[in-house]
Amino acid sequence: MENPKSVHRFLLVLVGVFTVVALGLSIYFQEFYIFLGWLAVLGLSVFVCGVLALFNVVIFAPIFWLVGNLSNRRARRSNPNAQDHVA
């Protein structure tokens, strides 16, 4: 699995470079809407990622809770004297 620090560093540099490019194009063409459009794309992507993360929590949290409860019950039933063997 990738190292999160290197992935975050890469994404931060990528966003920074594209922000500088959008600002440069905005100054070169004397159109503020190029930079404003880039900021809108960034804001929209953050919003979509937030909604998808919330959707992920809503869908998978109950499933993980249910699997945890079922495995906990099965472990208790299969080994009722588990505390007797603990050193």
Alpha carbon distance 27, 35 (integer Å) = 9
| pTM of the predicted model over 0.85 | no
pLDDT at 56: 95
In a domain? residue 83: no
Alpha carbon distance 35, 26 (integer Å) = 6
- Residue ranges making up the domain that contains 72: 4-78
In a domain? residue 86: no
Number of domains in the chain: 1
Alpha carbon distance 37, 67 (integer Å) = 44
Given the structure tokens 């004397």, which residue do they identify? 30
Alpha carbon distance 83, 69 (integer Å) = 19
What is the tens place of the pLDDT at every residue in 47-62? 999 999 999 999 999 9
What is the tens place of the pLDDT at every residue in 18-72? 999 999 999 999 999 999 999 999 999 999 999 999 999 999 999 989 988 888 7
In a domain? residue 87: no
